[in-house]
Amino acid sequence: MHLWQKLLTAIFCGRADRPNPALMLVLCLCLRQATCSYAAVYFVASTGSDTNPGTIERPFATVSRAQQAASAGDTVYLRGGLYFLDNSHITATNPPWAVVNHINKSGVSYVAYPGERPVFDFSRVQPVGWRVTAFLVTANDCVFKGFDVVGVQVTIQTNHTQSECFRVAGGNRNRFEQLAMHDGMGIGWYLTAGASNLVLNCDAYNNRGLDSGSMGNTDGFGAHPCSTNHTGNILRGCRAWFNSDDGFDLINAWAQVTVDNCWAFYNGYFTNFSSTGGDGNGFKVGGYGVSGGLVPIPPPRHRTQFCVAARNRANGFYANHHTGGLDWFNNTAYANRYNFNLLCNLDAQSSSNDVPGFGHVMKNNLGFMARTAEVTNIGPSNDVSFNYFTLDVTVASNDFASLDETLLVLPRQPDGALPYIAFMRLLGSSDLVDAGMDMAQAYAGAAPDLGAFEYGLQPQPALAIGQLTTNIVLVCSGGWAGGPVKLQAAEWFTPNSVQWESTGTNVFDVTGTCTFRLSVPAGQMQQFFRLALP
């Protein structure tokens, strides 16, 4: 007899007017456990078939077939390899879009199989007269992690058309992580409706339109929630470069969006640095055009913080005719035409109503080497204390560990985090260290530093003996890629820094490693070594 049968017998054998409450509780728990369902796992592979059962031995061929089989709580593992899609894989049309993967079932995770990297190539998806969406997400609570989307096409040669790698049109609480959207004509990630979506550690690069119209629509990331209820969308740890329009674009957003710890560089350029004709901003934050459209009242205060904008063709950080103030905290701009352009508009009805920026709150921002001007279009009614352009500080090349822009494209760390690089990181000797204002964010020292990178919060590099004979080889690891480091020595260990002598300097390579080779003097009994970051 099963346990639940014994419990039923025990209860029903008792007095009907006085059942045993303890037994009833146990019965409820057991019945609840008996009806529990367990999450399933399915597999998709480039060598699979949609007539397979979706096991690891006999995987599906398409994401759409896996979604059909899955239920909320299930995981779909995407095996590594190259997936070629064509027009036969279009599963839905939503004029003017043709959709390949319409994700409309909530609670399913689509993740790369551990240790493998799937690549979905959409270059053969070319429906005549339709925009293309590789992944349309209208479901909630889904996860997309660890794969590439490449080659998304634009097929309509008219002004202002576009395609997208990912389009969120009503999905909430979805997570997009460690994705790369590149080498196509589509926007990397694009939201029109939905709340509390997180885009984490994703890259969008080398995306450019088909003609002049679509060139000006192809951003790396676009967040444009159409309702004041669509709050909580966050882009964090993302990079956008060589996109034909902007790196990050929040135009026509009716709800607040946060852009945190993201990098935008080389946008508005082809890879040979000729102009694409697109806008070419790093971070275009807000605005509603100037042609008389509707605007939310009050306008949302988008938050852009700890971000880097480098050598974009137009502005690094741009308010884009926004009809109110925005929040800009601890951002770093380098070699953009204008590093910070705070242009506002009174009502979005006409360009004649453009005015210098008003209502902005700017703290701890840093810029250097703007090609035309550091800051433009900023009016008197802003809170701009504690920025490099309002403080008594001098910004010069010797403030930084490195100005090598090529470090920005280094591979990400194993956990998907941005590469640990020396570009625009302050040296300890800089007067920009401890020059900022406490904004309830972690910092080291007496006060926050200016810019996106806080000196002193980084983990210290490690020093180990790689070889010991008559010569000693010391291996340093865990440093800023491209950053300088000093080796210091003393005969006795001491906390007194003046008793340590410098024995050499070096630069960490792209892996954050460097070596020091030293001769051991005859008769030297002992010597202590330590690393010092400048």
Task: Determine the pLDDT at residue 528.
Answer: 86
In a domain, 73, yes or no: no
Are 29 and 87 part of one and the same domain?
no
320 has a pLDDT exceeding 50: yes
Q: Tell me which residues are annotated as active site.
A: 284
Evaluate whether residue 436 is within a structural domain: no
Position 21 confidence tier, pLDDT thresholds 50, 70, 90: very low
Least confident of 153-157, 260-264, 365-369: 153-157
SS3 269: strand
User: Looking at the structure, do residues 259 and 373 belong to the same domain, yes or no?
Assistant: yes
- What digits encode the pLDDT tens for the residues 141-178? 999 999 999 999 999 988 789 999 999 999 999 999 99
Position 30 scores a pLDDT of 32
Question: Tens digits of per-residue pLDDT, 382-413?
Answer: 999 999 999 999 999 999 999 999 999 999 99
CATH classification of the domain holding 502: 2.60.40
Residue 400 lies in a domain: no
Strand partners, 60: 44
Residue 15 has pLDDT above 70, yes or no: no
Handedness of CA 329, 333, 336, 337 (dihedral sign): positive
Q: Identify whether residues 367 and 490 lie together within a single domain.
A: no
Q: How far apart are CA 320 and CA 299, in angstroms?
A: 13
Residue ending a domain, among 378, 403, 437, is 378
Asked, for residue 327, whether it belongs to a domain, the answer is: yes
pLDDT (0 to 100) of residue 17: 35
To the question of pTM greater than 0.75 for the whole model, the response is yes
Q: What is the pLDDT of residue 493?
A: 81
Cα(515)–Cα(508) distance, integer angstroms: 9
Whether 292 shows a pLDDT value over 90: the answer reads yes
Q: Which domain holds residue 12?
A: 3-34
Average pLDDT (490-497) is: 80
The reply to whether 108 and 29 lie within a common domain is: no
Shared domain check, 224 and 156:
yes
Which of 329, 347, 378 represents a domain boundary (last residue)? Answer: 378
The answer to whether 247 and 282 are in contact (CB under 8 A) is yes
Residue-level pLDDT at 12: 29
Total of domains in the chain? 3
**How large is the average pLDDT for residues 304-319?**
98
- 132 and 244 both lie in a single domain: yes
Tell whether 395 is covered by a domain: no
Looking at the fold, whether 28 and 147 belong to one and the same domain comes out as: no
- 349 domain residue, yes or no: yes
Residues 30, 150 within the same domain? no
| 470 lies in some domain | yes
Q: Is residue 107 part of a domain?
A: yes
Q: Using one digit for the tens of pLDDT, what is the confidence trace for 91-112?
A: 999 899 999 999 999 999 999 9
Are residues 254 and 315 both part of a single domain?
A: yes
In SS3 terms, 199-217 reads as: EECCEEEEECCCCHHHHCC
Q: Output the CA torsion sign for 205, 211, 215, 217.
A: negative
pLDDT, one tens digit per residue, over 180-237 is: 999 999 999 999 999 999 999 999 999 999 998 899 999 999 999 999 999 999 999 9
* Token pair for 443: 């910092």
Whether 19 and 85 map to the same domain: the answer is no
User: Looking at residue 37, what is its pLDDT?
Assistant: 58
Q: With H, G, I as helix, E, B as strand and everything else as coil, classify residue 238.
A: coil
- Residues 49-77: tens digit of each pLDDT: 999 999 999 999 999 999 999 999 999 99
- Judged on CB neighbours under 10 Å (0-12, 13-18, 19+), 525 is exposed
Q: What is the CA radius of gyration of the chain?
A: 28
Domain boundary among 343, 378, 413: 378
- pLDDT band at residue 522 using 50, 70 and 90 as cut-offs: low
pLDDT higher than 80, residue 11: no
Q: Looking at the structure, do residues 176 and 259 belong to the same domain, yes or no?
A: yes
Q: What confidence tier does 33 reach under pLDDT thresholds 50, 70, 90? A: very low
- Domain with 299 in it: what CATH number? 2.160.20.10
Q: Note whether 31 and 7 are within 8 A (CB).
A: no
Distance CA 19, CA 490 (A): 81
Beta-bridged to residue 310, according to DSSP, are: 265, 334
